[in-house]
Amino acid sequence: MLTRTGFRGLGDSRSPSSATVLELLFDIVYVFALARLAGRVADDLTIVRHTLLSEAGQTVLFFTAMWMIWSLNALLASTYDPRRADLQVALLATMFGTLVLAVSLPQAFGQRGVVFACTYVLIQVGRPLFLMFALRGHPGQSFAARVLIWHLASAVLWISGGISGGLGRGIFWSLALAIELIGAATTWPVPRLGRRKLTSVGVTVSQVHLAERYNQFFMIALAEVLLEAGAAVSFPGFSTEGTITLVAAFAATVSFWRIYFYHVGAGQASHPGGEGIRLSRWASYSLLFIVGGIICTAVGFGQIIEDPHPPIDWALVAIIFGGPVLFLLGRSFLEQESQTAPRCRALYAGALVLVVTAPLMVRLPPVAVAAAAGLILVGIAVVDQRAHQRGAETNPTL
């Protein structure tokens, strides 16, 4: 069946409502990639303070670049049928390229800069180039051309940064990533080709499929909290401090899950007839904050388990409390766009509590800080639950 559909026009295919097994296989690479990024965050906490901002900036750059690859592939598989043979080849090629990027991450600003830049360019340019050929004669080809032009422009900066090294590498790569983010936010406008959205060129995005992909990626990121905490506890074995922090990490994980899947605003998450979840304009960027916040929280708990002795470092407090703040802000942006259904204030109030409490934590032992973060997240989840008085879980209103 795959062979037969492979010869039909790509533009005539439609994405199924559920994610395919190949897409789940694709996410396995991101289990490794997120672990690499978490490792970079942990390394950032152990370096000299005058270089902390520059090192953290590199980590944010890598995280955003990896997220761009995943989000655009999720959009691709939610627009066209990922069961097609040709699209499966494209997804597998991207999967291998992402694996190379993840392997290159520790030395991307060192000896592997050219490898990282060339691989990233091949992925980001190869995707729209494939669509240009696969959509010949289809209105969607013009949209693919616009995406290709923007990524070709950023490719020059990616390659230049890989060659230059040093401070120039960071500048070139930051500009390249900024171009891609602006392009995605403005639907890749190009003179004479316009700036029409994907849905206005005869192409339908499966909103249910895309929301499911976001939910799956969220669960992968959530596992990182238990992975970091569990790995830190398993080597030396159970101790009083490690056990308390492990319990706090578990409580934080359950709270993240509860807030993400059970938090709904007023109004329905689906269109009439149950056709799917309405995408918000900033849904992708919201998930960027959510996943980034979870990774920071995971690293914070892991670091406390590894070194539970006071005094606690201010940077570690910022990570373990700032992570949940990023998560809450990102989750609040996933509220359904509606003039009659304002965003819930519970999440904003919870973020404010975390921000106000964080400075006080520098005077407490690290284990107490971990316990406080877990208790606050549990409290936010309980307040959020009572504010909505909902029943069964729902997919977030993307």
The model's pLDDT over 248-278, given as tens digits with 9 standing for 90+, comes to 999 999 999 999 988 654 333 333 322 333 4
The structural domains of the chain, with segments of one domain joined by +, span: 2-201, 207-388
The per-residue pLDDT for 57 is: 84
CB 82 within 8 A of CB 22: yes
Per DSSP, what are the bridge partners of residue 352? none
Instruction: Give residue-wise pLDDT tens across range 346-372.
Output: 889 999 999 999 999 999 999 999 999
pTM (predicted TM-score): 0.86
Query: What are the Cα distances from residue 153, in Å, to 149, 156, 218, 240?
Result: 6, 6, 31, 54
Q: Which residues pair with 132 in a beta bridge?
A: none
Q: Of 84, 31, 40, 81, nearest to 60 (Cα)?
A: 40
Q: Locate tokens 């989750």: which residue? A: 331
Question: 371-386: buried (b, 16+ CB within 10 Å) or exposed (e) per residue?
Answer: bbbbebbbebbeebee
Each residue's pLDDT tens digit, 79-105 = 899 999 999 999 999 999 999 999 999
Which pLDDT score is estimated for 50? 52
Packing angle of the helix pair 85-104, 113-134 (nearest 10 deg): 170
CA 153, 159, 164, 169: dihedral to nearest 10 degrees?
70
CB contact set of 56 (below 8 Å; sequence gap of 6+)? 41, 44
pLDDT at position 268, please? 38
Separation of alpha carbons 313 and 136, rounded Å? 57
Residues of the chain with pLDDT under 70: 1-8, 47-54, 194-202, 263-282, 335-344, 388-398
What pLDDT was estimated at residue 339?
A: 47
Contact 344, 388 (CB under 8 A): yes
Residue for token pair 């304002």: 342
